[in-house]
Structure 1
Amino acid sequence: MILKGFKEKSNIKRLNKLVSIRNVDVNNSKIESLGVIMHIDEIDDFELFRSLASDLNIRPKNLKVIAFSNGKKEDHNSWDMCFDPKDFGWRGTIKDVELQSFLDTKFDALISYYAKDQLELKLLTALSKAKFKIGILQIDERLNDLIIKSNISEFNVFKDELIKYLTILNKIKNEQ
């Protein structure tokens, strides 16, 4: 039990360091690839994000969604990429190769779609090498470049607001 507390403290320290050294790169590049981090215990509909990617003119092969669960991976066997707290080590290290591969991908945008204040989810967002990070209103506002205040269950509100702001920022690629 004591070790769990020390591990959590080391992960918090790593999260704070990652957030403090993050360099935000503002440019006019269009979003062509999209990564999504979601908490499967809060929302479990993958099709919502596929529809969102389609509305943003992102090809299906350029969309990757990972799910995090507090339970065991076996409980969510319908997901290709579902992770749990056991996939995280000390000082924010990632034990799973597939998860590390997702985090190393330089997405044009990353959507962090979770409302719970959970250390592992915040670490995933901070560790991601995405250029532009988008999230719903959370306790820690340092993680995302664009924050859309909406309830986790109101995905259509989130989607409409996201499209509106990405259009204003000139981030949506025109259909060709």
Structure 2
Amino acid sequence: MILKGFKQNSTKKYISKLLDARKDFVANNKISSLAVLVNIDEYDDFESFIQFAKLINIAPNNLKIIAFTSNKKKDVDALNFCYNPKDFAWNGKVKHAELQEFIKTPFDALISYYQQDVLPLKVITAASKAKFKIGVLQTDNRLNDLIINTNFKQFDLFKTELIKYLNTFNKISNE
């Protein structure tokens, strides 16, 4: 129990360090690649993200969805990849190679679709090299560039609001 507390505290420090070092620069380019980070324990409709990507003209090969589950034994057939707490070492360091590759990829946008305060999800959001980070209301406003405050279970409302803001910011092409 004490070790778990030390691990959580060191992970929180790592997240703060990542967020403090982050530059508040948002590129003016259109979104052509999209990453989605979802907590499958809260929301498991991957098809809604695929449809959203089609709606904003993202090619299927430019969409990457990864899921997180807090259940270490749960084998989830996610679209691309599912990870769990065992994929993280002390200080929030990522142990899994595919997850490290996801973090290093400079996606045009990252949608962090989770509500629960789960440290591994926050680590991935904070460490991601995505150029524009989008999320639902969370405890730490520094995680995302754009926060859509909608009812978490109403994905259609989230999608509508997000498209409205992306059009306002001239981030999507209407071709």
State the TM bucket, normalised to the shorter chain: over 0.9
Q: Where does residue 161 of structure 1 map in the other structure?
A: 161
Structure 1 contact 73–83 (Cα < 8 Å) conserved: no
Q: Where does residue 42 of structure 1 map in the other structure?
A: 42
Q: CA RMSD of the aligned region, Å?
A: 1.2
- Map residues 47-86 of structure 1 onto 2, 5 A cutoff: 47-77=47-77, 79-86=79-86
Structure 2 contact 136–147 (Cα < 8 Å) conserved: yes
CA distance in 2, matches of 1:155, 1:130: 22
Q: Where does residue 134 of structure 1 map in the other structure?
A: 134
Q: Secondary structure at the match of 1:147?
A: strand
Structure 2 contact 65–80 (Cα < 8 Å) conserved: no
Q: Secondary structure at the match of 2:15?
A: helix
Q: Give the counterpart letter for 1:164 in structure 2.
A: K
Q: Is there any run of 5+ residues in structure 2 with no aligned partner, and where?
A: none
Identity %: 57
Judging changes above 3 Å, is the alpha-carbon distance between structure 1 residues 52 and 73 closer, same or farther for their aligned structure 2 residues?
Answer: farther
CA distance in 2, matches of 1:164, 1:149: 13
CA distance in 2, matches of 1:5, 1:81: 28
Give the deviation of 1:76 after TM superposition.
1.4
Taking structure 1 as the reference length, the TM-score comes to 0.95
Give structure 1 regions of 4+ aligned residues with deviation exceeding 4 angstroms.
Answer: none
Q: Where does residue 148 of structure 1 map in the other structure?
A: 148
Give the deviation of 1:78 after TM superposition.
5.0
Give the deviation of 1:26 after TM superposition.
2.6
Taking structure 2 as the reference length, the TM-score comes to 0.96
1:87 and 2:93 equivalent?
Answer: no
Structure 2 contact 72–85 (Cα < 8 Å) conserved: no
Give the deviation of 1:120 after TM superposition.
1.0
Structure 2 contact 19–142 (Cα < 8 Å) conserved: yes
